[in-house]
Homo-oligomer: A and B are copies of this chain.
Amino acid sequence: MSTRNRTRGEKGKVYLVGAGPGDPELITVRGLRLLRQAEVVVYDRLIPAALLDEAPAEAERIYVGKRPGCHTISQEAINALLVEKARAGKCVVRLKGGDPFVLGRGGEEALALARAGVPFEVVPGVTSATAVPAFAGIPVTHRGLSTAFAVVTGHRAGDAEDDVDWSVYAQVPTLVILMGMKRARRICQALIAAGRPPHTPAAVISWGTTEAQRAVRTTLARLPDAIKEAKLVSPGILVVGEVAALADVLAWFEPAGKSVELAHHSSGEKRIEGNRRWR
């Protein structure tokens, strides 16, 4: 491509690269090019495994992801590792799921690099927050339904440290919740308590954009049970808002022959899907 040479991976520099939402082909052209020139790849748990094969065979691959229930490397240790490898003159690719600056602690790594005087570059990625809904046929904005959306983390919902004011997000037309599968019940209860109607269209998408994707279309009130009944597992994304109903018509991705599943509804709620085509 006729672009500048900025893509040439430099020695002694760290590239904070977004690996995209799961499908390996959703990395950016620049991200892939830098990965192919990397001398050190420091990677997280949820990056597409196929991408690791794109780094040179001789590149050092360092896993710093969390395994549920296992001892994990601290953020401080990751920061120190990046500084150390760059100071050793290496071209370092820090490969993070989604976008490095969207709930990925990339800002903290950039800050550590800046403070250590290590040159760095951010290579934005396709964030799961918009791509995963898109793969379930849900545009986060849609004329007449939503001209705004919010992205929040649900991983502390209900905790003392939960700094998300759910009453604010209850008022946003489209709400995308990352890392909220396990606390879906508390989140949905908080949104309903704050005035969001229980019959608001909602969806849950597990392993979005991958061959393991499973999506369920339901309502805000039914969402926690729908996750349980469909046995959906993390990582997953919750979408709340009128746009979720568009999945009924727009779902196009068929990882295993099925694009979006319909949650089992009580008769009272079933009619919400009544007039829509289900594919």
Contacts and interface: CB of A to CB of B under 8 A. Distances in A.
Interface stretch (A62-70, A100-108, A263-271): A100-108
A234 interface: no
B20 A143 contact: no
Interface string A120-155: 111111110011011101111111000111111100
A19 to B, nearest CB: 11
A143 B252 contact: no
A172 B150 contact: yes
A153 B195 CA distance: 24
A211 to B, nearest CB: 8
Identify the interface centre among A101, A111, A163: most chain B CB within 10 Å of its CB: A101
Given A53-B2, A133-B101, A147 B164 contact: yes
B127 A130 contact: yes
A23 B30 contact: yes
A79 interface: no
B148 A135 contact: no
Nearest to A138: B101
A153 B143 contact: no
Contact of A26 (B29, B110, B150, B209): B29
Identify the interface centre among A1, A27, A33, A246: most chain B CB within 10 Å of its CB: A1
Band of interface residues on A: 35 or more
A227 interface: no
A113 to B, nearest CB: 9
A249 B111 contact: yes
A169 interface: yes
Contacts of A153: 141, 147-148
Interface in A16-67: 18, 20-21, 23-30, 32-33, 50, 53-54
Contact of A126 (B3, B124, B140): B124
B29 A141 contact: no
A88 interface: no
Given A103-B141, A169-B148, A50 B124 contact: no
A114 interface: yes
A21 B28 CA distance: 11
A2 B111 CA distance: 34
10 interchain residue pairs of minimum CB distance: A107-B139, A124-B131, A101-B139, A25-B30, A148-B152, A150-B150, A107-B142, A168-B171, A122-B134, A101-B134
17 contacts: A2-B24, A3-B25, A7-B25, A18-B126, A20-B28, A25-B33, A28-B28, A107-B141, A107-B143, A107-B250, A111-B249, A114-B250, A124-B134, A125-B126, A126-B126, A147-B152, A150-B151
